[in-house]
Structures are given as C-alpha cells and as structure tokens.
Structure 1
C-alpha cells in the first residue's frame, strides 16, 4: 500500500484520474476520525435524514442472508445512494453472529464499500462496525433531542441491553449536552452489566447508577428508555409499565409487544423499511392490518409535520438506513484523506483497457 492523494483530490487538481484508486481504511483510522466529532456526526445524520425525506437518496430494502445450520446468525446487505454534498453510492455488509459473544468477540462485524458517483468504481473499503455503531448512536441522540422538545426533558435514563450500541448511545448523549439525575441498567448477562458499569465509571459519568434485576424496574424508573438488546421476539408485554409516558428509543426493534406500541405514539425512521422482518411495528401491522398506529417519521418531526404528544409514551423505532452509513463513511474517508493518511492499494484495478 502507498500513502497518496485520494481520487477526489486528484480529480480536483488535474481532472478525472485515468486510473481509479482504491483505499482501505482500518478500524483504528475510523475511530480516530470520529473521536470527539459527536456533534458534527449528529448534524450530518440530521442532514441525511432530511435528504432522504426529500427524495435525494436511493435506499432499497436490506437483504438478509440467513443460514439453515446457524439460525441465530445473519449477514445483511444495505445498498444505498445519497445526494447532497455527500454524493456517493455504496454498500454496508454487516454480520450478526450472537454466539461470538461467548467466545469473547463482538456480535457484529462489518465493512463499508464506497462507490464513485460518476464512474461506479469502488474507491474505498472501510471497517464499518464502528461506523454502524456511530450512526446508530447519532440517530438515537438526534431522536432523543427532537422527540423531547415539546415534552419534559428526560431526567432519568435506563439502558435495557448493555453492549456496544448502549455504550455508543450513552457516549453520544453525554457529548451532545445530555445530563441525567440517574442512570439505570438492565441486562440478562451479569458480565455485560458489569462491563457497562465499568465503562460508565471510566467515561467520567457522575450520575448514580442502579442495576435493575428486571426490565419492569428499569422502565418504571426511567424517563428515557434505551432498548439495545439482541432480542429476536418481544419480551416486554405490559403497557402499564409505561404509564409514566417515557420516551423510548427502541433501537433493537423487537423488544416490545404490539400491545405496548398500540398504547403509545410511534415514530420510525422509514415506514417501508421498519415494517418488515417481524420488527415490533411490523407485528402491529400484521395484527391490525393497517398502519394507523404510526404517528410519523423522524423527518416529519424535523419538518414540523408531526409532533410527539405529552400524554402518551413515545416510541422511536429506527430500522437503520444505509444512507446513514454512507454519510458517516464518506465523512471518515474525507477526514483520513485530509490528514494525508489514506492508504491506497497499488494496482487494485487491473486490465482497465476495454480491448486489452
């Protein structure tokens, strides 16, 4: 590999390059590019939601690769294209193998491919588990902000599920101006709970932390509830647990029974994407035969077309859009390129003459 200017810089200096370039960006480089940029990334995610809502994107359904011999595992392809200043196409390829946790490995691993808008040539491959967690956390922080603007600001946060995504969401909340009177934690894994509490101490969190032995205890004592589990089917079935009208970030999508959603105000990131693959909103649609339970999308809230009520629980269920990965991935690429740290793979493209 060589460290040279990216294809975009070369195009700006001397016109379109005659030979496309291809860069590989490691997880360490991704982490450094995103560190301390939480506010910028939340703003980028908001811009991307607005572009998507305005139709300046292509975001087809995700494709799930499943395995008869490994029913709990899957690999998902998220192709997408985004316009605006990002102006890039690409694909996230992310695997979820829950058994990895028992072996001491993270559940998810991913790569992101960025394609040039004009030629279609892929120009970068990025380690993307960090990008995926970052865009998820940024989306959660953005939703928490906008969905609480017309309601009392949550003072007590509870995390149901204490893995990587919960850690990133807490980091984004803390670094975008949120502070709480108390933090609640619940997980079926004592080791995960202990690890998350250790992260909270290391992060400098000063709020008192309570470990709850049940989801009910966590929910009832929290104004902002974050679901970040690996649940494959609903395990929270009692609407009365939400009688205090909390704001719920339903990041893991399959924790809540239809009864809970039907007793709440519901917002999603994208209707067609979210109502698939037996998510909790999809189960509601299957039961009722309609989508009347939906109050709108997050973009509707951004544009003032919908507002969360004050007298109901408010649930945000984001499926996770590939355009968000592209936006954050392109931000990382540009940051690494500007720092002069882009690693290009020599001769990645070969035999570029059409007739030899």
Structure 2
C-alpha cells in the first residue's frame, strides 16, 4: 500500500480545471444512479459539536472503491490545528486489496472547491460578482477555482481584521489575477452578487444570510450546510444537492435545522443544458464518489512517479 501525505497530494493532484471536470463526472454519475454511495455514517466524540464521518463509495464502471474517514473538531482552531482531518483509503477494484492511504485534507479541499466550480461554471447568472463568506482553508482552494474559471471580481467576508489581512496577502501571492475585496459584514459581500459561496463553520449560530440581500437569480453554493443559507432562502429557490439521498438523510436527522425543505434535484442533473430561471441553491454536503475520483487521480500520478512510502500490510 502506498502512503501519501497532504504535501504529496498538493504536488500530484491534477490541475484545477481537470479536477473540476473529474468531479463534474462524479456528480453526473450520482444523478444517474451509478455507483454505490450510502449516506455518511456519523459518530460523535470529543468536544461538543465534534464528529467523524465514514464516507464509503464505489464506482464499478471505473473500477473504483474506497472510503474516507474524516473528523470535524471545531475547537481545533483555538489549538492551531485543522478543524477537519482524516484519511482516504483506496482499494483495488478487482481484488479489494488496499492500495493507497492518502491524507484527506488536500483531497477534501480540492474536491469541495471543484464541486463549487462545476456548479458555478454551469449555473452562474451572467451578472454580479462572486461573494464568499469565511476566510479559512476553503477560501483559498475556492479562490484558486475562481481564478481558473476566470471569475476575478470576488468579495470575501471575514469577521476578523487579522483574517482579512492574511487572506489578502495569500491571494496576492497565489491568485494575483483575482480582484479581491474584503469586507467585515456578510451583507456587504453578498448584496449584488451573482454567486454566493458560504464557507463558515458548520453549525455556527447567528450566521444565516438575510434573504433581502439575495438577488432573484443568485446562485447560492453553501459548503457549510444550513449555517448561512437557511430554510427561508432555500424555500424560495430551486434546491439541489451533490448527493440528494445524503441530503435527505441529513435533513431528516436534523442536521440542517428545523423546516429545511427537501432537495428536488441533483447537482449533476443541472450541469448540462440551459440554466433554470430564478434563484438556485446547490447544497454541497461532500460526497465520497467525488473524493474517490480525485484520490484515484492522485494515486495514479503517485504510482507513475513512484512517490510516497510503500508498506506491505501482510507484514
């Protein structure tokens, strides 16, 4: 089994547009009912609001099978540690033998932003800037996607001045073509936006956006569940999800709060053809199939270049 670190993933991952294409294929496959992607298995441990998810997936048509084990501990931020961490295990599609153990941080960041990119590329309205709420690691991966897609007019909300300064410095060095504006209130970011991407902490209180700030044709792309895009906004939109079955399981389990409407479409079913009129919400809960296809691309590159430590599980 080949073991790969986040640094290996960063060096081996396909370019941003290729990653978006790979993830778009996974979203279409989910919408067609291909693969076997059961709802996430969640266990709770550690400080309050901390949990771990098991995300299994197979895609027989591509010979892919694997599982991501990922934890979310919000209190890690105060310790200087990542709030999300985990590993992705890939298995051989013919024998089931584990072939790769991959750190999940970079895979998750790239997959999440690529799902956003696939939906934005297909469904963004013609007018308005891109708004992003939050200044964590996902803000950086999303800015890379926005630059790759040619979306350069970007307004980011971050509560802390220090976070705004750090993101501005990072963006100047890594995505110089993005015309980044940083603001200190969510309303200032989302008013007039054609696309709103929300990346605050999952489950944070008091962060839901004001529906009056959201345009009639705005595309909303939450990666923080219902923390920012509440039921009052979702009920006025065409509501889709990367994995509609996972969304329904999460909704019924109360993970999106009370009165959240059911998703009526799969993201993958909206990627081709004309954009539906009006407001659209594409909930990005994270799907194991997208992790699998990104991890497989990294694993193939690692095998070709002989990168990573190889261990024999048989001893």
- Calculate the TM-score normalised by the size of structure 1: 0.81
Deviates more, 1:324-333 or 1:189-198: 189-198
Partner of 1:30: 9
Q: Does 1:126 align with 2:102?
A: yes
Structure 1 position 130, deviation (Å) = 0.2
Find the partner of 2:239 among 255, 266, 272: 266
Q: Is the 8 A contact 1:30 1:130 kept in 2?
A: yes
Find the partner of 2:166 among 181, 187, 195: 195
RMSD over aligned Cα atoms: 2.4
Cα distance in 2, alignment partners of residues 30 and 231 from structure 1: 25
Q: Is the 8 A contact 2:193 2:215 kept in 1?
A: no
- 2:156 match: secondary structure: strand
1:106-145 correspondence to structure 2 within 5 Å? 106-145=82-121
Give CA deviations for 1:32-67 in whole Å, capped at 9, x if unaligned: 0116x1111111112222222333311011111212
Q: Does 1:169 align with 2:142?
A: yes
Deviates more, 1:205-214 or 1:122-131: 205-214
Q: Is the 8 A contact 1:234 1:256 kept in 2?
A: no
Q: Aligned pair count?
A: 313
Structure 1 position 172, deviation (Å) = 1.4
Structure 1 position 237, deviation (Å) = 4.9
1:40-51 correspondence to structure 2 within 5 Å? 40-51=18-29
Partner of 2:184: 213
Cα distance in 2, alignment partners of residues 65 and 281 from structure 1: 15
1:69-108 correspondence to structure 2 within 5 Å? 70-85=47-62, 87-108=63-84
1:1-356 correspondence to structure 2 within 5 Å? 22-34=1-13, 37-67=15-45, 70-85=47-62, 87-148=63-124, 151-152=125-126, 154-175=127-148, 177-180=149-152, 182-232=153-203, 233=205, 235-254=207-226, 255-278=228-251, 283=256, 287=259, 291=262, 294-304=263-273, 307-309=275-277, 312-345=278-311, 347-350=312-315
Structure 1 position 327, deviation (Å) = 0.7
- 1:277 match: secondary structure: helix
Give CA deviations for 1:84-136 in whole Å, capped at 9, x if unaligned: 33x12111011111122122222111110011222222111011110011111
Structure 1 position 192, deviation (Å) = 2.4
Gaps of 5+ in 1: 1-21, 351-356
Cα distance in 1, alignment partners of residues 7 and 108 from structure 2: 14
Partner of 1:14: none
Gaps of 5+ in 2: none
Q: Is the 8 A contact 2:122 2:272 kept in 1?
A: no
Q: Is the 8 A contact 1:253 1:279 kept in 2?
A: no
Q: Is the 8 A contact 1:275 1:281 kept in 2?
A: no
- 2:250 match: secondary structure: coil
Give CA deviations for 1:143-187 in whole Å, capped at 9, x if unaligned: 001112xx31x5411110111111101101212x3233x321212
Deviates more, 1:182-191 or 1:114-123: 182-191
Distance 1:157 1:279, change over 3 A: farther
Give CA deviations for 1:6-28 in whole Å, capped at 9, x if unaligned: xxxxxxxxxxxxxxxx1111222
Cα distance in 2, alignment partners of residues 234 and 143 from structure 1: 27
- 2:162 match: secondary structure: helix
Cα distance in 2, alignment partners of residues 185 and 280 from structure 1: 31
Partner of 1:354: none
